[in-house]
Structure 1
Amino acid sequence: MATNGKKIKPQVQKKLQSVEDLGPGKTAAEKKMITAHQEKDSSAIIRSQEESACFQEVDPDSGSLPTAEGARRKMNPLFETTQAVLQSEELDLIRQEADVRQLSLHCFAFDEADDRGWLPLHEAAVQLNQAVLAATLQASQPRAREWKTLKGADVLSQASDGVSVLFEAATVENTESLALLLEYGADANVPKYSGHLPIHRATYKGYCQLVKQLIPVTDYSAIKESGISPVHSAAAAGQQECLKLLLQSKFDVNFMLSHRLRRSYNDNRKSALYFAVSNNDVCSARLLLEAGALPNQDPINCLQLALRLANYELISLLLRHGANVNYYCRVNTTHFPSALQYALNDEVILRMLFSYGYDINRCFDCPHENKIHPLFSSEGWTSTVIKDNMFCEVITLNWLKHLTGKVVRVMMDYVAHVHFCSKLKSVLEQQNEWLEITYIMQNPRSLKHLCRLMIRQCMGRMRLRCPVFMTFLSLPRQLKEYILFKEYDLYDGPKN
């Protein structure tokens, strides 16, 4: 046997001949694949023989190896060993394929499952050897219920946990094997018992090429029935490239988890954006928000997660895309919006919240005013038992009252005139900021500042939550920045 006019060793010829003599009945695609595989192996073996011959040539004058090859061997003493290992691996692949085809004579063995419910076809699907998968596909016999499969392979078979062969193939990045299964009629819309489809697995693993193959063969109805979008899978795993691909393919960025799947999470999350924010993944969150993701759809607000993480960039990103700064947590139902609780000790976040329309007036809305406040017992108080407590009751707690002066002083930059109740005033008088606060309160505010507050009131909180609205106003840039309190903005990170 010769390849490209060059002879190869008898033992290699025997190995290749054993592949050529494999059982009849191959499809045209399989013959083409095997021929290409043989030519690749033959070329590799010939190259290996030529390199080995070069190592053995002796210079007739000096009786030593050529200078270049000698230096090469000296610099890399494992060169010959590496070449031998590569040649051995190629022969192993040929031998493995030959073994599978020899076992194909016992076709009923390919219908026997192991303890997991896996057939040999499941095992072949997760291998990186496409030739083994092709041989297993040809050897597998169709069952009565697989009459749709035209080429004889049981590609629709499922393991005991409902995992299909195509689903297992999506766990390894092998585009050729996936394409071969699809050619044999594998259905990309067969879910496992949890409802996940092969596209969910490939997306979670970050295999973009597999996702490209699965997108056109996956039905939206199957995704809807599964209760979870591949966008969720990409956001949960932080796979930005797959996320870009899905968004470019017009997958719904606001697809919500089904009620069945929401119950599996303690926070009842439902949006893909929530997964990205909970992972502190700014890149994925930006992709989702720029594609139109709504930031206020989950039971626990996405902004609340970002505030817990104290991630300035993520907080700014959510606020610029309309996150509700005046949300109320379902657990901590305070009289004032809940976001303030996570920013009391951080002036950067405080000013972010106030610039985007936080309702500061609610903090000074106390029904007791100058009257004596009822005793507020903090014994046993935790963050989960607040019901409708006023700002003055919370900020004057023993472990928070040292922050009272700083917080109230920052608030003064965003309001016109407010009234302090007796309880809040008694604590403020003990703070270093009290003299400055008193000066601000006793003097009239500037007309410019009052006009800014009136303009913001006319705009409304909904428009303030979406700063892009300012681009439609025919106002000078400096005036727009003044309306948005840009002079008080302490955040100097990315804003695009």
Structure 2
Amino acid sequence: MTCFSYSEYFSLFHSCHRHTRLAAQQTGRAQPSSSGAAWGVRRRHDSSTSQSVEIDPVVAAIKNGDEKAVCNMMKSGKNLSVPNKDGWIPLHEAAYYGQVGCLSLLQKAYPGTIDQRTLNEETALYLATSRGNLDCLLTLLQAGAEPDISNKARETPLYKACERKNAEAARLLVQYNADTNHRCNRGWTALHEAVSRNDLEIIDILVKGGAKIESANAYGITSLFVAAESGQLEALRYLARCGADINTQASDNASALYEACKNGHVPIVEFLLSQGADANKANKDGLLPLHIAAKKGICEIVSMLIPVTSRTRVKRSGISPLHLAAERNNDDILEELIDAGYEVNTALSDERSCLYEDRRTTPLYFAVFNNNIYATELLLQAGANPNVDLINPLLISIRHGCLKTMKLLLDHGANIDAYISSYPTTFPATIMFSMKYLSVLKYLLDLGCDAGSCFECQYGNGPHPALNCRRERLNDPQLTREPTVVQFCEMVSTPEISRWAGPIIDVLLDYVGNVQLCSRLKEHIDSYEDWAVIKEKAETPRPLSHLCRIKVRSLVGRNRIKLLDTLPLPDRLIRYLQHDYSQ
């Protein structure tokens, strides 16, 4: 048994309480250099610069398509194959600006530079493709440019054409034998990129050009998985017609169906199920598509998954979709699952329960913890047992101070004298949790909570061990061989509670007969002048009318005490038994 300090006992009722997707699915994008260059400042797509810089005459001539000026420079002996500090040569500039005439002149004059790369390892062919300059692209391909040279991110011109959704560029590159299965630095292929953009024309070009539909990236993700994950229905249908595996799974075992459910793609889920997708494939955490749909609160998807999800597989997972629906306050999902027959008293497995500090196990606990009155009532009406969890949900409702939830739980059999086995006390934990809320404490005592145990001290009028010694014993496992049970007098003497001790004792005395205040309680009461009347109230014998009330209440019994209003008794007697002093 673990031992706890007094502050831990007290703090208990104040604080009872798909891993990240496998990196970004999109590949990295190489950014153009921002440094100045001898051939001119490197441009963004809007051609803007942060400051005015004089453009090199060669760049100016190429940008303007002035073939004559370019020829004259070469005739004058100027070497137009020398790179600037970004690694750009005039051939790159011509491809970038789409000046096919200048490009042809430069390529013929310097044929060895056709596949030369910038510092970002971009070829003229890559730049032409990136800018959508088809004439330059075709000219370079016809001149023998290598179509599969990639940039620093290992993205080829074909990949860039797919990213830019440029079907004509993709068609040209495939015609010139571009590798349709080349992978970027994360294993992403051109087909992955085209599918992510739902471009059917390019997808068709790639597949007919030899792209492998089952090719997976570095995270085990295929093109069909991408389509399902990103909600691209047309691409998904195309790939399914081509025979792509409908049950494909990523490296974390998440299926395409799971990802579609996770992202709320209702049409995708509907299509996958119509094609025979298996709803009982769990990810590496043991969660099924129904679990994630319940967690995300997508009613349409949950409705589709319930009939095709195995209850045995759900049980094997160690967590019910009810838990996840309750945890996320998805009341519609909770109601649908209950209507479908999911067991409301299903407990979390030990492995899952231990992930929570309070070791919760039931869907009801989640609902009460969230202070969700509707979900609490829904579960209780469906037969939820309020006395299963290590920490009774009633204690959590007391912490929230929610009388409506307390009443619901008590009406459905919650133990009003609940204890916590891992935090042993000689008095009910319900009293411990309500010490700061006297109205709540009185409400519980009115319904029959055991107040007498608060005055049953093992030391009585004798000397008590010093609190500091008790704390040291609690906190040092070497000093104790058996669980240390905390008594009421010790609890109310803690710094966190001591200033409320008098009013707490005063309320408790209204629900007990002749009791003896232990020496510590007397000492504590004596330390506050205003509490002298409380000590007098506890003196024996107590008034006969009070003792009679205690006796009658005990004879009525706890099960009927909360139904006093319905008993055939005079109103005055009912008010008397309920401690109602208003009249």
Match of 1:377 among 468, 471, 487: 468
Cα distance, 1:486–1:450 mapped onto 2, change above 3 Å = closer
Q: How far apart are the structure 2 equivalents of 1:94 and 1:164? A: 20
Q: How far apart are the structure 1 equivalents of 2:486 and 2:578? A: 29
Across the two proteins, how many residue pairs are aligned to each other?
Answer: 379
- Residue 318 of structure 1 and its aligned partner are, at CA, apart by 2.8
Letter in structure 2 aligned against 1:438 = E
What are the equivalent positions in structure 2 for 1:136-215 lying under 5 Å apart? 136-139=239-242, 141=243, 153-215=244-306
**Is contact 2:224-2:256 (8 Å) kept?**
yes
TM-score by length of 2: 0.58
Letter in structure 2 aligned against 1:327 = A
Does 2:331 match 1:240? yes
1:187-229 CA distance string (max 9 Å, x none)? 1111112111101111111100110111111121111122211
1:437-456 CA distance string (max 9 Å, x none)? 62575422257614532224
SS in 2 for 1:157: coil
Does 2:349 match 1:251? no
Does 2:514 match 1:417? yes
- Alignment match, 1:434: 532
Does 2:485 match 1:485? no
- Residue 378 of structure 1 and its aligned partner are, at CA, apart by 6.0
- Alignment match, 2:123: none
SS in 2 for 1:131: helix
SS in 2 for 1:368: coil
Cα distance, 1:239–1:289 mapped onto 2, change above 3 Å = same
Q: How far apart are the structure 2 equivalents of 1:481 and 1:355? A: 12
TM-score by length of 1: 0.68
Q: How far apart are the structure 2 equivalents of 1:163 and 1:422? A: 64
Q: How far apart are the structure 1 equivalents of 2:445 and 2:505? A: 12
1:385-444 CA distance string (max 9 Å, x none)? 892232223323455333222111111222233222233223334452432662575422
- Alignment match, 2:233: 130
Q: How far apart are the structure 1 equivalents of 2:577 and 2:255? A: 55
Does 2:384 match 1:293? yes
- Alignment match, 2:206: 103
**Is contact 1:405-1:431 (8 Å) kept?**
no
Larger proportion of helix: 1
Does 2:524 match 1:455? no
SS in 1 for 2:514: coil
**Is contact 2:231-2:260 (8 Å) kept?**
no
Paired-residue identity, %: 30
Does 2:487 match 1:390? yes
**Is contact 1:262-1:270 (8 Å) kept?**
yes
What are the equivalent positions in structure 2 for 1:59-70 lying under 5 Å apart? none
Q: How far apart are the structure 2 equivalents of 1:110 and 1:483? A: 81
SS in 2 for 1:414: coil
Does 2:374 match 1:271? no
Instruction: Mark the runs of 5 or more structure 1 residues left unpaired by the alignment.
Output: 1-91, 142-152, 490-496
**Is contact 2:279-2:309 (8 Å) kept?**
yes
Cα distance, 1:204–1:476 mapped onto 2, change above 3 Å = farther
SS in 1 for 2:452: helix
- Residue 242 of structure 1 and its aligned partner are, at CA, apart by 0.9
What are the equivalent positions in structure 2 for 1:10-49 lying under 5 Å apart? none
Cα distance, 1:464–1:229 mapped onto 2, change above 3 Å = farther
SS in 1 for 2:510: helix
Cα distance, 1:482–1:154 mapped onto 2, change above 3 Å = farther
Does 2:443 match 1:352? yes
- Residue 376 of structure 1 and its aligned partner are, at CA, apart by 3.7
User: Which deviates more, 217-226 or 444-453?
Assistant: 444-453
Letter in structure 1 aligned against 2:487 = M
SS in 1 for 2:264: coil
- Residue 119 of structure 1 and its aligned partner are, at CA, apart by 0.8
SS in 2 for 1:216: helix
- Alignment match, 2:38: none
Does 2:535 match 1:444? no
Q: How far apart are the structure 1 equivalents of 2:311 and 2:358? A: 27
- Alignment match, 1:365: 456
Q: How far apart are the structure 1 equivalents of 2:486 and 2:444? A: 20
Match of 1:400 among 468, 484, 497: 497
Q: Which has the larger radius of gyration?
A: 2
Letter in structure 2 aligned against 1:339 = T
1:268-310 CA distance string (max 9 Å, x none)? 3221122223333333223222222112212222233333444
Letter in structure 2 aligned against 1:293 = A
**Is contact 2:257-2:289 (8 Å) kept?**
yes
Letter in structure 1 aligned against 2:221 = W
**Is contact 1:357-1:464 (8 Å) kept?**
no
Q: How far apart are the structure 2 equivalents of 1:238 and 1:480? A: 43
Cα distance, 1:268–1:332 mapped onto 2, change above 3 Å = closer
**Is contact 1:356-1:484 (8 Å) kept?**
no
Q: How far apart are the structure 2 equivalents of 1:105 and 1:282? A: 58
- Alignment match, 1:51: none
- Alignment match, 1:118: 221
Cα distance, 1:236–1:399 mapped onto 2, change above 3 Å = closer
Q: How far apart are the structure 2 equivalents of 1:318 and 1:335? A: 23
Cα distance, 1:393–1:178 mapped onto 2, change above 3 Å = closer
Q: How far apart are the structure 2 equivalents of 1:449 and 1:172? A: 61
Q: How far apart are the structure 2 equivalents of 1:477 and 1:177? A: 66
- Residue 98 of structure 1 and its aligned partner are, at CA, apart by 3.0
Letter in structure 2 aligned against 1:452 = V
Q: How far apart are the structure 1 equivalents of 2:336 and 2:573? A: 36
Letter in structure 2 aligned against 1:117 = G
**Is contact 2:516-2:538 (8 Å) kept?**
no
1:13-52 CA distance string (max 9 Å, x none)? xxxxxxxxxxxxxxxxxxxxxxxxxxxxxxxxxxxxxxxx
Cα distance, 1:446–1:262 mapped onto 2, change above 3 Å = closer
Q: How far apart are the structure 2 equivalents of 1:107 and 1:169? A: 27
Q: How far apart are the structure 1 equivalents of 2:198 and 2:521? A: 83
**Is contact 1:332-1:383 (8 Å) kept?**
no
Q: How far apart are the structure 2 equivalents of 1:372 and 1:103? A: 88
SS in 1 for 2:316: helix
- Residue 311 of structure 1 and its aligned partner are, at CA, apart by 4.0
Cα distance, 1:95–1:241 mapped onto 2, change above 3 Å = closer
**Is contact 1:331-1:384 (8 Å) kept?**
no
**Is contact 2:291-2:321 (8 Å) kept?**
yes
Q: How far apart are the structure 1 equivalents of 2:197 and 2:379? A: 46
Letter in structure 2 aligned against 1:204 = K
**Is contact 1:351-1:488 (8 Å) kept?**
no
Letter in structure 2 aligned against 1:412 = L
Q: How far apart are the structure 1 equivalents of 2:456 and 2:196? A: 77
Q: How far apart are the structure 2 equivalents of 1:93 and 1:396? A: 65
User: Which deviates more, 279-288 or 94-103?
Assistant: 94-103
